A and B are shown apart, each in its own frame.
Chain A
Amino acid sequence: MKKSAPRLGVDIGGTFTDVVLEAEGQIHSTKVLTTYAAPEDAIVDGLAQVCAKAAITPAEIGQIIHGTTLATNALIERRGARTALITTQGFRDVIEMRTESRFEQYDLNLTLPEPLLPRQMRYTVRERVDALGQILIPLERAEVEALADEIAEGGYDSVAVGLIHSYLNDTHERMIREVLAEKLPEVMVSISSEVSPQMREYERFNTVVANAYIKPLMKSYLGRLEGRLRDEGVGCNIFLMHSGGGIISLESAAEFPVRLVESGPAGGAVFAANIAARYGLDKVLSFDMGGTTAKICLIRNQTPKTSRVFEVARTYRFKKGSGMPISIPVIDMVEIGAGGGSLAHVDSLRQIRVGPESAGSEPGPACYGRGGTKPAVTDADLILGKLDPDNFAGGSIRLDADSSAAALTSVLGEVLDMDAQTSAFGLCEVVDENMANAARVHAVENGEDLSEYTMIAFGGAAPLHAGRLCEKLGIDRLLVPPGAGVGSAIGFLRAPFSFEANRSVYMKLSDFDADKIKGLLTDIRAEATAFVRNCDPESEILSEFKVYMRYSGQGWEIPIILSEEQAMAPRRTSFEQLFEQDYTRLFGRPVAGMDVEITVWSVNATTPPETVARTPETTGAAMAPVCGERHVFDAATGAVVEARLVQRNTMETGQIVQGPAAITEDETTIILPASRRAIRQQDGCIDIRRKTSAEDKA
C-alpha cells in the first residue's frame, strides 16, 4: 500500500454516492446523486469533483476503496440473475419453509416473504451426509451430469449448491461444481461449504442462494467500474469494503458478492472505531442516524463487534424474522426505522408511534412545504427549536414551522389533547426511546452495560438526537466528529485488508484434542491469509483467532477470543477458563458440572491497523463565541430554555459551550441539552460531556 499517495473512498448509498479523497492529510469530499442505471457514472462524476478540489489527476490516486448498497438492493428488489439451487433430495423447500413460524403472531393476514428462488428452480440430487460428516448415500456423477442438462435447458446463469451437513464434508458440493464447470463452463457456481460453511441449513442455503443470485450482476458491475476508472486514467488497484469491516480484492468480491451486503454501514462503524482509537476509548456506541433509519453498533477496544449471521431485506416493519438470514462475518448492528423522515401517528391505545414509514424526500416532512401533511421527526425537531428554519441543509431548503405545527396538531395533538409543542415533545421522546431501547436490547444481548460507554454520533440527524439519547442511556460522553455526513466513505479509508474464514467442527472439551485444534486453526488461517495476501503482497498479516463455545446442549454460542499462543499451543484449562469468564460476564453465573463444546472456529486475517495518533485532549479554556440565542425545548427538564447559538466553524480548539446550546454547521446541528457541556478538540471533534461541577451548571 502506498501510504503517501492519495486514496479515494467511494460509498454508493440509496440516495447519494459519497466520494472522499484523502491527499496529504486533507479530506476532500462530495455527494453526488446515485445513478441507479449505471452506478459507475456517479463515481466518475464524484471522482472528477474531488480531484479538482485537491488539484490532482486520477492517475495520481494510489488506492481506491469502494463500498456499495448495490448487493443489498439487488436482494431487496429481487433484481438478481436467473438462478437455480441444487440441494439434497428431501430438502427442496428449506429456503421456503424458513422456521415454520410467523414473525408477527397477531396478524391473521400475514404473508411471508417469497424465497429468492421459487420452487421450480430448486433441484435435488440423491445424496446424504450425516451429522458426523460421514457419507450415508454417495452422490452418483451420472445423476449430476443428467441434472446439468436440465440446468442447461432452464437457461440459468448462476447455480447455488447447498447440501445437508456440507459444512462438515464438502465432497459432494465440490463434485457438483466440478461437473457443472465441465459441462456448463459459462454458468457461475457457488457452493455453500465455501460461501458459508456453518451449521443450520436454512441460513446456509439462503446465503449461498443469495450469493449466486447477485453474482452475475455484481461481477459485471465491478468489471464495468474497473474499465471506466481505467478510462479516466486511474492506474491503482481497486478494493471493496466488505460487511465485516475490512477490504478485499475486486476478484474476491466478484466471487463472494454476498460479503458486500451492508458494506456502507460497516464503513460507518470503522469510521467510529477510528475516532475511538484517536481518543483511546475502549467502549464506544456508534450511532448513525439518517433520513429513514438509525444504526447502532458496539465498538469494544476500537474494534466493531462482529457476528456470524444477520438478516437482510426485512419486509415487515423491520421486524426480526421478516427478512432473510445471511450467515457471513458481519459487523453486528441494529437497524431500526427511525430517521429524520420517520412519520408519527396515534394508535388505538392513544400511544404515539413513530416509523418505520418514512416521508422520504418526496413529499418529505411537512416542513419541507412539498405537500407532506403527516408529522415527521424533522417537524418535531423544528418545533422544539432544534433546527433553524432559515438554515437547514446549508440554507438549501427553507423549513416552514407552521406546516409542522399543523401536521403535529392534526395527527397527534387533536387526538391526545396536546398543543403542537407537547406533541412534538412526545414524538421526539418516542423516537428517542425507540432508539434507546434498541441500543439497550443490543447491549444486553452482548452482556454490556452502556453506562460505561462513549457515544460517537454521525449521519445527518444524529447530532440532533444524540444528546438526549445519552441522557436516556446514562452515557456521560459523546463525540461528534467532523465529516460526519460522509462518515462511511471516510471509514473505508481507515479499514484494513481483512478476511474472516469460519468452519463448523464440533469438539467437546472432554474430548479436547490439541493437535487437531492446532491443525484446524492453521488451515483456516491459511485460507483467510490467502485472501489478504492477494490484496497486499508485502504487509505483515495478523491473525485473530476466535472460537464459539457453549455448554453442551445450549443453542447459542458465545465468541471467545484466543491469543496466538492459546490458538497454536491450545490447552484445555485455558479454553475452559476463558469460556467461564465470558459466560459469567454475560449471564451472571456459570452452570456447574456441564461439559463445554466448541462449535465454530474462525480466523480473521488482517493487515495491521493503521497507527492512529492520539489526539491530545484539552479540557477547555475559554468560552466559544456565542452568536445568538434560540428557544429550545429541553426534554430532560421538560421546559423551554434559552439556548446559546454557536457556529461550529468558528469554534477553536479548547473552546467551551455550556448547554443548553445549539452548535450549528452546514449539514446539521448539534443539540446540547442543559445537562451537557461541549469542548472543541484539536481534531475538530465536538466533545460533549455531562456537567459535573457546580460552576458548570451555572
Chain B
Amino acid sequence: MTNEHSNVAYQVMWNRLISVVEEQAQALVRTAFSTSVREAGDLSAGVYDVQGRMLAQAVTGTPGHVNAMADAVAHFIRRIGRQNIFEGDVYVTNDPWEGTGHLHDITMVSPSFHNGVLVGFFACTAHIVDIGGRGFGADAASVYEEGLYLPIMKFAERGTVDETLIRIVRGNVREPDQLVGDMYALATCNEIGHRRLTDMMDEFGLVDLAGIAAFILDNSRRAMIERIAALPRQTASGEMTVDGFDTPITLRVKLTIAKDHILTDFEGTSGLDKKGINCPLVYTKAYACYALKCAIAPEIPNNAASLEPFRISAPEGTIVNAVHPAPVALRHIIGHFVPDTVYDALDKILPGVVPAEGAGCLCNFQVSLRPRSDAPAPKNALRSEVLTFNSGGSGARPEHDGLNATAFPSGVMTMPIEATEHAGPVIIWRKELRPDSGGAGKQRGGLGQYMEVGAREGHEFDFQAMFDRVEHPARGRRGGHPGAPTAIAQDDGSPMRGKGKQFVPHGRRVMLSLPGGAGYGDPKDRPEKAVKRDLLRGYITADAARRDYGLSSTDIAEVEAAIRAGKDSA
C-alpha cells in the first residue's frame, strides 16, 4: 500500500510542478515591459533539480526557448560554481551559446533553497526588444556588433541587486527602463516559482527533489523510448533551400531511428552566412527536438529525460552550428526552418504524419521611427522602436488544410495593432488574409497575409526586414502546390529586400505580402464542396478555383450569387 500511495503522491507532485512553472510564466507575462513578452508570449519558464536537469516547463512559451533553456542551467552551475551559490541569488546571461541563441534573449536562473539547503533551480527566458548594438536585425558582421553581452553572472547576490551591472545595462541600450523592468520581471517570476515549490515541499514533507525527479524522469524516459522503439528503424535524408541574406542556404539532415534514440545530423548543410541569420546549435537542437516530438510523442511533457533520446549534431561552422563570434541576432530565421527540413526526412519514414512545408520563419519586422529629416518635423514627433511578430500560412496536413496566418513552428502570438500603434508613431494600414496564397492541394496550404506599414505624419523610419521565402516558397507534398512567396516593396513600387535595414522616407508605406503554406496531395482530389467553400469565403479567387481545381463557370456563378445573398453555402 505504501508504495502505491507514494506513486499517487508523486503523480500529484508532478502535476503540481507543471502548475508551478505555469504560474511562473504567467507572472512574467503580467510584469514584463517588452511587447514581445507581454503581448506575444515570447518567453519560457522551467524548474530544475540540483544537477540542473529540467523537470518541468511551462506550456506558455515558445519551442525555441523552451528546449534551449533545458540546457542552460547546467552552464550556470558550472560558471557560477557550486560554492558560490547562495540563498537569494539570481543569475543572468544573454550568451547566445549558453542561453537561447541570441543576445536579445535574457535568461535568468535562481537557486531554490529549502530549509537552508539547495534543492533546485528556476529559470526563465524572455525576448527583449532592444539590447543596444546595431538594433535587432541581420546587418551585423559579428556578435560584437549585435549589442551588449552579459556573460553568466550574478544579477543579485543574497538578495542584493548588482547596481554596477544595472548601470552598465542602462548605459548600453536604447530603451533602458524597459530592459531593466524586464530583468526585474524575470527575477520576480523565478521568485514566484520558488515560493510555490516551498509550499509543495512543506505539504509533502520533502527534504529534496530527488524522489520526484526520479519519478518524472524515469516515466518520461520510458514513455519516450517506447515511442521510439515502435518506429521503423530506418535512415532517411531531407533537405530544403531558403533565401538566406544574399545567397541561398541549403539545410540538409539525415535522420536515423535507433532502438532507443533518434539521431539527427545536419552534415552537408551550408556554411555560415556573413550576416546575422546564423544559428547556434542549441537553437537548432531546440527546433529539431520540437519537430520530432510533435510528430512522435506530442503529449509527453518536456523535461531532461524526454528530450534526451533526441541526439542532434551538426558540424561546427555550418549555419546550424554557428560558433562565436558569428552574428546570430536573427537565428530564428534558420531555426524556424529546421522542422520543415526534418519533416522532409521523416516523411520518408513515417508517411502521412507530417505537414507540407509552411511559411516557416515568423514574418517579423522592426520599425525605428524618428522625426522626418527632409523637412521640419512637428514638435511632438518622436523616436521609437516598434517590433512586431506576424505569421504566414502553415503547411497543409495529411487530413487538414493548413492554418491561415498562424505561426508554426514558433509559438508566439501577434500583437494587437491597436497596442502596436500605442507603442510608437507607426500606422498599420492593413493586416488581413492574402487570398490565393495557400498552395493548392487535396488539403490546401494556410493563407499568408497582407500588411501595409507607415508612420504617423511627421515621421520617417528604418524598416528592419526579417523575411524569407521570397525566392524559395514553401514546397508541396504528394502533388500539393507550393505556397505563394513573400513579396515586399514600397507603395510607389520601389523594390525592397527581404532582409536588412532599409530607409523609408516620410509619407511612404511598406507593402508586404507574407507567404502561404504549401498544399498536400493533388488539388484534383480536393472535394468540390471544399473548393466552393474556399471561393465563397474568398480564400481563393474565381481564377484559382478554375485553374487549380477545375471548378466550372456555372459553379463559380452559383457561389458568387450565394455571396451576394449572404449565404454560407452554395
**Which A residues have a C-beta under 8 Å from some C-beta of B?**
82, 84, 89-94, 96-97, 99-102, 105-112, 118-121, 128, 130-131, 136, 150, 153-156, 164-165, 199-202, 347-352, 416, 418, 422, 425-426, 429-430, 433-434, 437, 440-441, 444-445, 472, 474, 506, 551, 553-556, 586-589, 591, 593-594, 638
Contact = CB atoms under 8 A, between A and B. Distances in A.
Nearest to A121: B566
Contacts of A155: 565-566
A637 to B, nearest CB: 10
B19 interface: yes
Given A418-B4, A588-B191, A594-B181, A444 B413 contact: no
A593 B179 CA distance: 13
B452 interface: yes
Contacts of B295: 108
B401 to A, nearest CB: 9
Interface of B: 1, 4-5, 7-9, 11-12, 14-16, 19, 22-23, 26-27, 29-35, 38-39, 41, 59, 62-63, 175, 177-178, 180-181, 184, 188, 191-192, 196, 199, 203, 219-220, 223, 226-227, 293-295, 297-301, 353-355, 389-391, 397, 399-400, 403-408, 411-414, 416-419, 421-422, 427, 429-433, 449, 452, 456, 536-539, 563-566, 568
Contact of A200 (B14, B26, B354, B416): B416
Given A94-B431, A555-B419, 15 more contacts: A91-B431, A91-B432, A93-B431, A94-B432, A100-B407, A108-B355, A109-B397, A118-B568, A120-B536, A201-B416, A351-B219, A433-B15, A441-B19, A444-B26, A474-B199
Contacts of B298: 106-108
A551 B33 contact: yes
A14 to B, nearest CB: 26
16 contacts: A92-B432, A92-B433, A93-B432, A93-B433, A100-B390, A101-B41, A105-B62, A106-B293, A109-B399, A131-B421, A422-B4, A426-B8, A433-B16, A553-B178, A589-B188, A594-B181
B15 A554 contact: no
Contact of A102 (B5, B411, B419): B411
A108 B353 contact: yes
A437 B19 contact: yes
Contact of B15 (A82, A202, A422, A434): A434
Given A349-B300, A440-B19, A555 B417 contact: no
Given A108-B397, A200-B419, A97 B27 contact: no
A112 B422 contact: no
A110 B403 contact: yes
B15 A437 contact: yes
A90 B30 contact: no
Contact of A591 (B35, B181, B353, B391): B181
Contacts of A556: 29-31, 38
Contacts of B41: 101
A156 B405 contact: no
A472 B9 CA distance: 12
B38 A554 contact: yes
Nearest to A117: B568
Contact of A100 (B16, B223, B414, B565): B414
A119 B433 contact: yes
A101 B26 contact: no
Given A91-B432, A130-B427, A441-B23, A97 B416 contact: no
Contacts of B404: 93, 96-97
Given A106-B299, A155-B565, A440-B196, A554 B406 contact: no
A437 B180 CA distance: 31
B38 A437 contact: no
Contacts of A106: 293-294, 298-299
Contacts of B177: 553, 593-594
A111 B405 contact: no
Nearest to A92: B432
Contacts of B431: 90-91, 93-94, 97
Nearest to A450: B199
Contacts of A154: 564-566
A426 to B, nearest CB: 5
Contacts of B1: 422, 638
Nearest to B182: A553
Contacts of A111: 400, 403
Contacts of A128: 429
Please name the 5 residue pairs, one residue from A and one from B, whose CB atoms are nearest each other, closest first.
A154-B566, A555-B38, A90-B430, A106-B298, A437-B19
A673 B188 CA distance: 36
Contacts of A472: 203
A441 B564 contact: no
A504 to B, nearest CB: 9
A416 B12 CA distance: 15
Nearest to B408: A102
A587 B27 contact: yes
Contacts of A150: 564
Given A119-B539, A121-B568, A551-B181, A429 B430 contact: no
A349 B536 contact: no
B332 to A, nearest CB: 15
B432 A555 contact: no
A76 B414 CA distance: 25
Given A120-B537, A128-B429, A84 B33 contact: no
Contacts of A416: 7
Contacts of B563: 120
Contact of B418 (A90, A99, A105, A165): A165
Contacts of A554: 31-33, 38, 181
Nearest to A597: B422
Nearest to A106: B298
B433 A429 contact: no
A450 to B, nearest CB: 10
A154 B564 CA distance: 6
B565 A153 contact: yes
A96 B192 CA distance: 35
A90 B509 CA distance: 14
Contacts of A433: 12, 15-16
B354 A108 contact: yes
Contact of A352 (B11, B184, B400): B11
B126 to A, nearest CB: 13
Given A130-B456, A587-B31, A102 B407 contact: yes
B109 to A, nearest CB: 18
A358 B297 CA distance: 25
B397 A555 contact: no
Nearest to A445: B26
A148 B404 CA distance: 29
Contacts of B399: 109
A333 to B, nearest CB: 16
Nearest to B536: A120
A589 B239 CA distance: 50
Contacts of B5: 422, 425, 638
Nearest to A583: B31
A101 B566 contact: no
Nearest to A350: B219
Nearest to B5: A638
A101 B413 contact: yes
A350 B218 CA distance: 11
B205 to A, nearest CB: 12
A348 B223 contact: yes
Contacts of A589: 184, 188
A348 B299 contact: yes
Contacts of A348: 223, 226-227, 297, 299-300
Contacts of B397: 108-109
B536 A430 contact: no
Nearest to B30: A556
Nearest to A422: B4
B171 to A, nearest CB: 15
Identify the interface centre among A153, A350, A440: most chain B CB within 10 Å of its CB.
A440
Contacts of B400: 109, 111
Contacts of A102: 403, 406-408, 411
